[in-house]
Amino acid sequence: MPRRKSLLIGIDYTGSENALDGCHQDVDNVAEFIKYRGYQDTPQDQVVLRDDLANEYSPTGHNILAAIDWLVSEEHTTCFFHYSGHGGQINDPNGRRPSGLLDTIVPVDFEDNGQIDSDMLHQHLVSKLPPSSTLFLILDCCHSGSTLELPFVYRSSEDGEIHKLNTYEAGVALLKEAKEMITGDFSLDREARARDLYAGATSFLRSLRHNRQLTGVRKTVTMFSGCRDEETSADAQINGVSEGAMSWAFLETMKSNGAPTYKEAVITYLT
């Protein structure tokens, strides 16, 4: 059996204007589930970052990146990563994206030290992952559809089938829709929608760049996200308990089928 490591992050932003209710509960639920599936909860095998824990386990930007580097540091390892918290978008500091935006995850100290953008996540999670290891991620946050800028994207259609997207065509289509919205009557809603579409389009197009960079290098990275780039996620009240809707749905799906294919898992999750 390969070595197994897990990193679980839950941020409720307690006491702030950005407070959430269910992210700590998500971590508890996921920790219980993966322990049942063979992951150990010892300090050598699992790191949990929550904003109700001591300083060294607080989900600051520094601690999150350090924990990510620990997660993918070993060869022949099955790595599991779960994040429940805010997802956002920031201005692209290099100005290379048509949208001017980067998708992010949001550490607890984001107001002082900024957010962790998609380029940085890809560098630390995907680029540093040894080819002999695998990585599975659940991102239960807003604007997370292509946060890791992976080269292949699968989505469900209205008929319940799973389809692989042509990332180039999807990016071009999103850019076209955003341009059409901008040339129409101006409104704040239209501007916000156009910015979201541009963000989604550039994430797709950046995934093609990463795919070219990895030519000849085979890595297995699989991500389930809470929503598309242009969408938002939310807490949900389930049996009187606040939980992330995506995390809850994923766990319920896995409980109903102990060893589903990815297609079966996605279809069950969506229904």
pLDDT tens by residue, 89-123: 887 766 555 556 678 899 999 999 999 988 899 89
- Identify the residue with better confidence: 199 or 137: 137
79 is catalytic: no
Strands 77-84 and 46-50: unpaired
Measure Cα distances from 215 to 186, 203, 208, 209, 231 in Å. Answer: 43, 19, 11, 10, 31
Looking at the domain assignment, is residue 183 inside a domain?
Answer: no
Looking at the 3D structure of the chain, how many domains does it have?
A: 1
The reported pLDDT for the residue numbered 4 is 97
Residue type, 129: L
Q: Tokens representing 200? A: 């989604």
- Residue corresponding to tokens 């100005």: 95
Choice among 24, 82, 86, 124 that is catalytic:
86
The reported pLDDT for the residue numbered 245 is 74
Angle value at C-alpha 81, between 233 and 156, nearest 5 degrees: 50
How confident is the prediction for the chain on average, in pLDDT? 77
The reported pLDDT for the residue numbered 255 is 81
Looking at the domain assignment, is residue 16 inside a domain?
Answer: yes
For 5-47, write each residue's pLDDT tens digit: 999 999 999 989 889 988 999 999 999 999 998 999 999 999 9
227 is catalytic: no
Looking at the domain assignment, is residue 97 inside a domain?
Answer: no
Contacts of 178 (CB under 8 A, 6+ apart): 193, 194, 195, 197, 198, 201
**Whole domain around residue 224: which residue ranges?**
3-87+103-165+218-270
CA–CA separation, 220 and 133 (whole Å): 8
Looking at the domain assignment, is residue 32 inside a domain?
Answer: yes
3-state secondary structure of 21: coil
Choice among 23, 142, 143, 227 that is catalytic:
142
Looking at the domain assignment, is residue 114 inside a domain?
Answer: yes
Strands 134-140 and 116-117: unpaired
For 69-84, write each residue's pLDDT tens digit: 999 999 999 999 999 9
3-state secondary structure of 199: helix
For position 130, which CATH number holds?
3.40.50.12660
The pLDDT confidence band at residue 62, using thresholds 50, 70 and 90, is very high
Looking at the domain assignment, is residue 233 inside a domain?
Answer: yes
Residue type, 173: A
As a whole-number percent, the residues of the chain with pLDDT over 90 amount to 35
Looking at the domain assignment, is residue 172 inside a domain?
Answer: no
Residue 142 confidence (pLDDT) above 90: no
- Nearest alpha-carbon partner for 99 in 109, 111, 91, 107: 91
Looking at the domain assignment, is residue 120 inside a domain?
Answer: yes
The reported pLDDT for the residue numbered 188 is 52
